[in-house]
Amino acid sequence: MSRFTPVALSIGFGLSLLAHQALAGFDSNSGVNVPDGICDLSGAERSAYLCDVTDSGTVIEAVTGSTGAFPQIRTGRSHFIYKVTDDGRGASPSHLDFELPICGQPDLEDLLNKDLSGPGGVEVLDVEESTGINYPDAKVLKLDAGVPEGRSRTYTVVYNSSPISAQPIAYAFKTGDGIEYGEMGILGAGCGIADQKTTKRCKEQTRIGEGDDATYRSRFVSRITNKGNLTLFEPMIKENNTNLKCVIASVKGLAVEPALPIPSNRFVAVPTNEKFDGVLDPIDPTSDKKSGEAVWFEIVCEHDEPNLVNRLKSRAETESGIRVVRKTRSNMKRQCPLAEERFVDIKKTCDGVRPGERLMAMNGYLVVEICPRIRVKNVGNETLENVTVTDEQVEELESGYDIGTLEPGEAVNLKDLGIDTCYLPSRPNEPAVRTNGTSDPSDDKYDPETATFTNSARVVATRPDDDDSETSDADSATCSLADKGTPDLN
């Protein structure tokens, strides 16, 4: 019997047309282990190169992950895991040889992790001396461990990179004085890079309704980008937060009608339209771009609580059915925090005039004096009581100053209440110096006009119409001796 079929012979650097046709319909959710433990070479396993049997009856199975992905990605590495079962009727395998394609990038031999691969010693050979196997356009990856007679052993080949794709490769077992070749081939490390990146960012969060009946709506922009050199098909997403009810509202700017619900327990395909055909082309090697094609889409979610962390999984497949799964998260509190309604507003500014900023003499010393303007306003539609302003650096405000009641729309400048807002800062934000154009640090001089001074003021008020609940606001001002009438923008 021949060592392997013409399909396997054609895969030193890529798949033949026949192989492409056989792989196109693979659904890796079918798994590799059939109930009787024997490969079904007429079904999905044969089409997917997940399971094969030698001419002497030794079975090899490619072990997929829980999502059907092969190889399995663990701690950023690609794990190609195989289960080998001896039929117990002849000489059992003493070691396993894989075809190792010769690639430009990625260099599979350099990425091979020999410490994590095994069992047995792991070698990469041009010619396997004990069997005489010399795969065309490839090297030989030898795992030097046998399979007990009539039993099974698990072999693992690990590469120090996660975007390692899989393609059908040839393999052989050393059994006694003979060699057992696979009838068809099995999935192994390929020269292609199957990789994608997923992002999701919250753009807007709003409150719907009031009081105990209030709910929230958030709008996200998500993107799936092909980061490898293999074409990806049918990108899919799955929410991972049961607190949100989300839909895909648009794809590449075109509305999805009706909006597509995104479940938390299964993947759904990103809808296609006239701008997106469900295919993400790979990186173009002739261009300077570091990414291939991307699809972006809008996700709209409703939830009972504000400022949630939202997680998303994405998945896409290569033509051979290899799944690339990635995940991302969006933090509403950081990316689009819900702006709580304010009923009181405080503004603190420096304008370079009295009150202002100046150098002045005091007890024989030259000191800096900062005199900011502080203005408080009721920006709600109800009366505010116990309106209290605090500024730790201003003596009269250090412990809080109650300016009384503010009617809706009423504003008060603290200087009009006779409050002295001036203070003497102990030092500037960053000591400023003038180098005087020399390299000698001793020539550096303090430059007061570039010095800045920052501090904050805060206001707290009571809303008697809302069971005496509190509302507050804060503002800071950065003042400089060089203002000379220039308004502070903080």
Contact between residue 192 and residue 23 where contact means Cβ atoms under 8 Å apart: no
Arithmetic mean of pLDDT, 27-54 = 59
Q: Considering the domain boundaries, does residue 157 fall inside one?
A: yes
Residues 249, 314 within the same domain: yes
**pLDDT value of residue 477:** 76
On whether residue 228 sits in a domain, the answer given is: yes
Report yes or no on 348 lying in a domain.
Answer: yes
pLDDT at 320 over 90: no
Question: Do you find a cis peptide bond into 106, omega within 30 degrees of 0?
Answer: yes
pLDDT at 446: 66
Question: For residue 466, which of 208, 211, 207 has the smallest C-alpha distance?
Answer: 211
Any domain includes 42: yes
**For residues 488 and 203, which has the higher predicted lDDT (pLDDT)?**
203
List the domain range (segments joined by +) for residue 104. 6-189
Residue 29 has pLDDT above 50, yes or no: no
Beta strands in 391-451, from DSSP E residues, in sequence order: 401-402, 411-413, 433-434, 445-446
Residues 216, 270: contact at Cβ < 8 Å? Answer: no
For 15-24, 130-139, 391-400, which range has the lowest pLDDT when averaged over its residues? 15-24
In a domain, 159, yes or no: yes
Lowest mean pLDDT among 153-162, 180-189, 431-440: 431-440
When the pLDDT of each residue in the chain is averaged and rounded to a whole number, the result is 81
Question: Tell me, what's the pLDDT at 83?
Answer: 93
Q: Which of 124-128, 239-243, 382-386, 452-456 has the highest mean pLDDT?
A: 382-386
Q: How many CB atoms lie within 10 A of CB 270?
A: 25
- Mean pLDDT of all residues in 232-254: 90
Say yes or no to pLDDT of 383 above 90.
yes
179 lies in the same domain as 110: yes
159, 189, 219: which is the final residue of a domain?
189
Radius of gyration (Cα) for the chain, nearest Å?
A: 35
Shared domain for 114 and 58, answered yes or no, is yes
Q: Say whether both 46 and 183 belong to one domain.
A: yes
Lowest mean pLDDT among 66-80, 96-110, 164-178, 349-363: 349-363
Q: How far apart are CA 153 and CA 86, in angstroms?
A: 9
Both 229 and 158 in one domain: the answer is: no
- 156 has pLDDT over 90: yes
Pair 250, 322 in one domain = yes
- Between CA 339 and CA 205 the distance in angstroms is 9
Q: Tell me the percentage of the chain whose pLDDT exceeds 70.
A: 80
Residue at which a domain ends, from 277, 307, 335: 335
Does the pLDDT at position 406 exceed 80? yes
By mean pLDDT, which of 172-181, 190-199, 244-253, 425-434 is the weakest? 425-434
What the block records as the tokens of 272 is: 């296609």
The total of structural domains in the chain comes to 3
State residue 476's pLDDT score. 75
**pLDDT value for 310:** 80
- 273 CB contacts (<8 Å, ≥6 apart)? 251, 252, 254, 256
Q: Among 192-206, 288-302, 348-362, 390-404, where is mean pLDDT lowest? A: 348-362
State the pLDDT at residue 442: 62
pLDDT given at position 357:
79
- DSSP SS3 for 334: helix
- Provide the CATH number for the domain around residue 467: 2.60.40
- In this model, does residue 6 exceed pLDDT 60? no
Same domain for 282 and 183: no
- Tens digits of residue pLDDT in 104-153: 777 899 999 999 999 988 999 887 666 677 777 788 999 999 999 999 99
- State the average pLDDT over residues 311-329: 83
Query: pLDDT band at residue 25, thresholds of 50, 70 and 90?
Result: very low
Better pLDDT: 271 or 355? 271
- Sorting pLDDT into bands at 50, 70 and 90, what band is 445? low
Regarding whether 177 and 153 lie in a shared domain, the answer is yes
Residue burial 399-423, b: 16+ Cβ < 10 Å; e: rest? eebebeebeeeeebebbeeebebbb
- Residues 276-308 have pLDDT tens digits of 999 999 988 888 888 999 999 999 999 888 888
Considering the domain architecture, whether residues 115 and 248 belong to the same structural domain is answered as no
Domain final position from 335, 352, 381:
335
Residue showing tokens 């050393």: 174
Please report, for the chain, how many H helices and E strands are present, in that order: 5, 33
Report the pLDDT value the prediction gives residue 396, as an integer from 0 to 100.
92
Whether the predicted pLDDT of 20 surpasses 70: no
Residue 462 inside a domain? The answer is yes
In a domain, 443, yes or no: yes
Position 41 scores a pLDDT of 63
Q: Is residue 422 assigned to a domain?
A: yes
- pLDDT of 490 strictly over 50: no
Task: State whether 372 and 307 are in the same domain.
Answer: no
Comparison of pLDDT for 62 and 446, the residue scoring more:
62
Residue 232 has pLDDT above 90, yes or no: yes
Cis peptide before 119 (omega within 30 of 0): yes
Backbone φ and ψ of 321, nearest 5° = 85, 10
Range name among 183-197, 235-249, 343-357, 391-405 with the lowest pLDDT average: 343-357
- Is the same domain home to 407 and 263? no
Indicate the DSSP class of residue 259. E
Give the per-residue pLDDT at 112: 94
Predicted confidence (pLDDT) per residue in 455-474, tens digit = 788 899 999 887 888 888 87
Residues 315 and 274 reside in one and the same domain:
yes
Contacts of 280 (CB under 8 A, 6+ apart): 196, 224, 225, 226, 231, 232, 233, 235, 292, 293, 294, 295, 316
